[in-house]
Chains A and B, each alone.
Chain A
Amino acid sequence: MLDPAGEATRAAAARLGVSGLNSLRIGKAIDVELEAADQASAQKSIEMLSERLLANPVIENWQLEQLEAVAETMA
C-alpha cells in the first residue's frame, strides 16, 4: 500500500543529511479512555471500535497499545 505522504517525508529527511532511512510511514494515533468492568471487556470494545470505525481494514492496519489501566474503587 503506497503511502505518498510518508514517501515525501522520507525524501525531505534525506535532505537533512540523515542516511539509511529505508522506510517512513505516516499513520495516526487515537487516544481513547474507556470505562469498563475489566480489562477483557475493555479490550473487546476497543477491538470492535478499531475494526468497524477507527480503521478501514481495506487500507489501514491497526494495533492496540495499552498504556495504563487506572483502577477506580467506588467511594
Chain B
Amino acid sequence: MMTPAVGIVVFPGSNCDRDVRWALEGCLQIPCRYLWHEEQNLSGLSAIVVPGGFSYGDYLRCGAIARFSPVLEAVKQFAEAGGAVLGICNGFQILTEMGLLPGALTRNSKLHFVCETAALSVYPGKCLWLQDYEQGETINLPIAHGEGRYHCNKNQEVSLEAGGQVVLRYQNNPNGSTADIAGITNEAGNVLGLMPHPERACDRMIGGIDGQRLLAGVLKKKGA
C-alpha cells in the first residue's frame, strides 16, 4: 500500500512550511508534498496542512488575500468532501477567512506579539486530529502571534460550545481570546484550526513532543 502523503500549502510569505515538513518527515516519517499557492492537484494526499507565517504579507487582514488563492479552492473542496485539513496560526486565520471555520482572529488584547510556551487543555470530541489525546489532558505547545485573539459572535460561541467544537483552550489566556479558545474544529471534526504550533513540539531536543500525536494521529486513524 502506498504511504499516504500530507500536503503542505506554501504561500508567498509562509514561514512555518519547512518546520511542518521537518516535524512530519524528520520526526514522524510521514512523507510530504509542498503545494505552491497556484497548485490545484491534491491527488494522493490524505491530509492538508495550512502552515503559519504571513501569507501574501498579511496585507489587508491576516489570511484575507490567501483565501482567494487557487490552492485553497481545491482545499475547500477537499475539506467539504471530509478530507482532513489543519490550519496552524496564520493557517487558522486563513481557514476562518475562507469560512471553513467560524469566527475570526484579531489583535491580541494587550497589543504585544506573544512568543512563549502555552499550557493548553485538550477536549478532542470528534476532532479527527486529536483522537490520540485524553479528554481534559494538559499539553504544552509554543505560541507566537500578534493577532491570535479569537472572536466570534454570541450565537457562534453558543453553537461551538454546544457542538463540542472548542477542542483546545488556553489555561492562561495570553491574548484575550473569547472563552480561552486556542483551537476549534468544524461540525464534522475533519477541519482543525489552532493558534499554537504543534510542529514546533515534535522534536525531543527542541521544545518537547506534545505536538506529535496531533500531526501523526490523523493518518493513523485513516488506517494508513
Binding site for B on A (CB under 8 A): 1-2, 4-5, 8, 53-54, 56, 58-59
A53 to B109, CA, bound (A): 24
Selecting from B9-17, B33-41, B100-108, the interface stretch reads B100-108
A56 touches B64 (CB 8 A): yes
B151 touches A5 (CB 8 A): no
Task: Across the interface, name the chain B residue whose C-beta is closest to A1.
Answer: B151
A1 to B106, CA, bound (A): 10
Size category of the B interface is 10 to 19
Given A1-B151, A2-B176, verify A54-B107 contact (CB < 8 Å). no
Asked if B180 lies at the interface with its beta carbon under 8 angstroms from chain A, I say no
B103 touches A58 (CB 8 A): yes
Chain A residues lying within 8 Å of B68, measured Cβ to Cβ, are 53
Given A2-B176, A53-B64, verify A58-B108 contact (CB < 8 Å). no
Chain B residues lying within 8 Å of A58, measured Cβ to Cβ, are 96, 102-104, 151-153
A52 to chain B, nearest CB (A): 9
B153 touches A4 (CB 8 A): no
Asked if B199 lies at the interface with its beta carbon under 8 angstroms from chain A, I say no
